[in-house]
Amino acid sequence: MERSQHNIVLKGGVKVERSQFKTNGGSDRHTLIRTHWILSEVTDYSRQQRGLFFIDTTEGTVHFCCKSKIIKTIINMAKVFKKASGSGHITLYLGKRDFVDYVDSVEGVDGVIEIDPSGLKGRKVFVQLACIFQYGSEDVIGLSLTRDIWMQCIQVYPPRGEMATKSPSLESFLKIVGEQGYPFSFQMPTNLPCSVTLHPGPNKTGKSCCVKFEVKGYIANAAVSADGVIDKKDMCRLMIRKIQFVPTDKPRPKVHIIKQFMVTDKPVHLEASLEKEIYYHGDSITVNVKIINETTKVVKKIKIYVEQLTTVVLYSSETYTRTVFFVEFGETINGNSTFKKSFNITPLLSNHKDKLGLAVDGGLKDEETQLASTTLNKEDKEMQGIFVSYIIKINLMVSGGG
């Protein structure tokens, strides 16, 4: 563990400085023992004791041990995301920035806001979670247009009614922040899009648009509407992402088509199938192709395309199609013969340096992104935003045209 000035909170609420702990062993000393991750051997200079620093993965706690005894139990060593307002009177705390949509339900967004009441001057503190459609870049004045697809606002100070249920993560935050911490919790509906960005097309007309999620804390006399103005020094915000995890036990996609030619009464049968329906970024996709050529024509080439379909639903609905992968195979299938083969393809964003017309997963600042994930939703839910799907096309090039 490197020396750091960040606070560590001990069980009982006592704060110490992380700089009191120093690694004597290498940072690569990670050993899994039962449910415990041993991080490294450390020295607690406040007590002149040497011991082991490890995480209990079942309880989410961190312990400092000496001579096989737990000396200290440290809470909430996980990464914490925080953002303070310009005035310093409020600070947002989140334990993570990726929240999972399981199609039938969405993870709750829990956090804590630290409030200095002396700077409020009789005003109130609110926390807001919004799903926002944005056209253009907010970095350029006059070139950004936003619309709230969904928004929920909570008054956290003065507390009104019952406070948010204190989950283990909220309990940890409150121990860090102390008496000035106020918890909040949001539950997103299941009909919201995921975080995604659509870049302008190859002709470079128009601007990029995106769906993003924002947690915002602010000081005001009353809750501010979507188009209301908040003094920047009285506001703090953190961007989060909504991502989807889906079950992999879906049926294998399979399609069979028959192509009839004018000059012959016999057809060509094309059957294509995938090993599974769900693939993760970077996975190789196996496309199984079976061709029954009952004609006298010769199939000379097999072309495989992967197309990304992006539908933008706001005031109206528009769909954009972009080829994200293409490959051509010089296979020869003579007349009155059968052909069967599996082809492996891997669509990657890294193969598109310009990203023109592509939808990509909504990224946080300074993080890599990838091709946008497929959007899954319940059929009975009306949704607005940006929605993405993919199709695989197979073309056969036949002698004599077709």
pLDDT tens string for the chain (402 positions)? Answer: 333 333 333 333 333 333 333 333 333 222 222 233 333 333 333 344 444 444 443 344 444 455 444 444 444 445 788 899 999 999 999 988 999 998 888 999 999 999 999 889 889 999 999 999 988 766 544 556 888 999 999 999 998 876 656 667 777 777 777 888 899 999 999 989 999 999 887 765 667 889 999 999 999 988 876 556 788 899 999 999 999 887 667 788 999 999 988 777 889 999 999 998 888 888 999 999 999 999 989 999 999 999 999 999 988 888 999 999 999 999 999 999 999 999 999 999 988 888 888 999 987 665 678 999 998 877 666 788 999 999 999 999 998 765
Half-sphere exposure of 261 (CA within 13 A, CB side): 19
- Which pLDDT does position 176 carry in this prediction? 75
- Which pLDDT does position 382 carry in this prediction? 77
- Which pLDDT does position 116 carry in this prediction? 92
3-state secondary structure of 173: helix
Residues of the chain with CATH 2.60.40.840: 81-244
3-state secondary structure of 349: helix
The span from the CA of 134 to the CA of 213, in Å, is 11
The span from the CA of 224 to the CA of 77, in Å, is 35
Q: Domain 81-244 falls in which CATH fold?
A: Immunoglobulin-like (2.60.40)
- Picking from 88, 84, 78, the residue whose alpha carbon sits closest to that of residue 57 is 78
Q: What rounded mean pLDDT belongs to the chain? A: 77
Give residues with Cβ within 8 angstroms of 245, minimum separation 6: 100, 101, 102
**pLDDT tens per residue, range 264-285:** 788 999 999 999 888 888 899 9
Distances (CA, A) of 110 to 103, 181, 188: 19, 13, 11
Residues of the chain with CATH 2.60.40.640: 254-398
Q: Is 254-398 in CATH node 3.40.50.300? A: no
Task: Yes or no: say if 82 and 181 are a contact pair by the CB < 8 Å rule.
Answer: no
Strands, E, within 76-123: which ranges? Answer: 81-84, 90-94, 98-101, 109-115
The span from the CA of 314 to the CA of 385, in Å, is 6
End-to-end CA distance of the chain: 66
DSSP 8-state class, residue 122 = T
- Which pLDDT does position 399 carry in this prediction? 84
Task: Yes or no: say if 340 and 347 are a contact pair by the CB < 8 Å rule.
Answer: no
